[in-house]
Amino acid sequence: MVDAQRTLREQQISAQAAGFHNQANWMQARMEQDTTHMANAAEAIMNLATATVGDRQVVDSLTATIANLTAQLQQKDTLIATLQQQVASNREGGGRGSGARGGGRGGGRGRGGATTTTTTTTDATPRTLYYCWSHGYSYNPAHRSDNCTDKKAHHKVDATVTANMGGEQYRRPRGHITTS
Ligand SMILES: [Zn+2]
């Protein structure tokens, strides 16, 4: 009877030990799982923190950009207001002003055109003018009265730029004739 009770007791203890052992195993597994979960959670939190820092930097940057843009907009507003005032004042007394300006430009153009023409005619790069009694004026030294290769009837070999001797006036330059 005592033996039987002892055996039973041993079996109970053994079972309990086995139970503890299982429980220990389960708890260990659970702890490992939790550790993994915790590690994952920690990583997630760190990521979140990084993201927050990044977001904050982005937000800071955006804030600075917005501040700059706002300042620029204010400058533009000021500029626009100034320009509007100038436009308004130009409209008030500007009719005559712009008319005068237009006239000035027109005159300038006219004079410019005349000057250009004169320049071309008289003082372009100093070129020597030559004369052929049969064919007129040119800047070609190979075509003069004395060396013309196609002389007309009564050709005057001695005719020059300053002494045409009644010869051809083709391409006679306007204005003063420069001689050499
Ligand atoms: Zn000739």
Domain stop point among 102, 121, 140 = 121
Buried b (16+ CB within 10 A) or exposed e, 38-69: eeeeeeeeeeeeeeeeeeeeeeeeeeeeeeee
- Claim to verify: residue 95 and residue 7 sit in the same structural domain: yes
Sign of the four-CA dihedral 155, 156, 161, 162:
negative
What's the CA gap between 156 and 1, in Å, rounded?
171
- Claim to verify: residue 137 and residue 111 sit in the same structural domain: no
Domain stop point among 82, 105, 121 = 121
- Claim to verify: residue 148 and residue 107 sit in the same structural domain: no
- Claim to verify: residue 64 and residue 82 sit in the same structural domain: yes
- Claim to verify: residue 97 and residue 160 sit in the same structural domain: no
Q: Residue 179 Cα, ligand 1 centroid: separation in angstroms?
A: 18
Q: Residue 95 Cα, ligand 1 centroid: separation in angstroms?
A: 60
158 close to 165: Cβ distance less than 8 angstroms: yes
Side chain identity at residue 90, one-letter code: N
Q: Tokens 């006219």 appear where?
A: 110
Q: Residue 162 Cα, ligand 1 centroid: separation in angstroms?
A: 16
Question: Where in the sequence is the domain holding 69, given as residue range(s)?
Answer: 1-121
- Claim to verify: residue 21 and residue 7 sit in the same structural domain: yes
Q: Is the pTM of this model over 0.85?
A: no
Q: Residue 116 Cα, ligand 1 centroid: separation in angstroms?
A: 30
- Claim to verify: residue 133 and residue 47 sit in the same structural domain: no
Sign of the four-CA dihedral 27, 33, 39, 40:
negative
Tokens of 149: 């290769």
Single out the residue of 143, 127, 132, 145 nearest to residue 172, CA to CA: 132
Q: Residue 125 Cα, ligand 1 centroid: separation in angstroms?
A: 24
- Claim to verify: residue 35 and residue 117 sit in the same structural domain: yes
Q: Residue 166 Cα, ligand 1 centroid: separation in angstroms?
A: 14
Q: Provide CB contacts within 8 A for 140, sequence distance 6+.
A: 130
- Claim to verify: residue 66 and residue 153 sit in the same structural domain: no
- Claim to verify: residue 104 and residue 142 sit in the same structural domain: no
Per-residue pLDDT of the chain (180 residues; tens, 9 = 90+): 678 888 888 888 788 878 878 887 887 888 788 888 877 877 777 777 777 777 777 767 777 776 777 777 777 777 778 777 777 777 765 445 444 444 444 444 444 444 444 444 555 567 899 999 999 999 999 999 999 999 999 999 999 999 999 999 999 988 766 654
Q: Residue 144 Cα, ligand 1 centroid: separation in angstroms?
A: 6
- Claim to verify: residue 6 and residue 42 sit in the same structural domain: yes
Domain stop point among 103, 121, 139 = 121
Domain count, the chain: 2
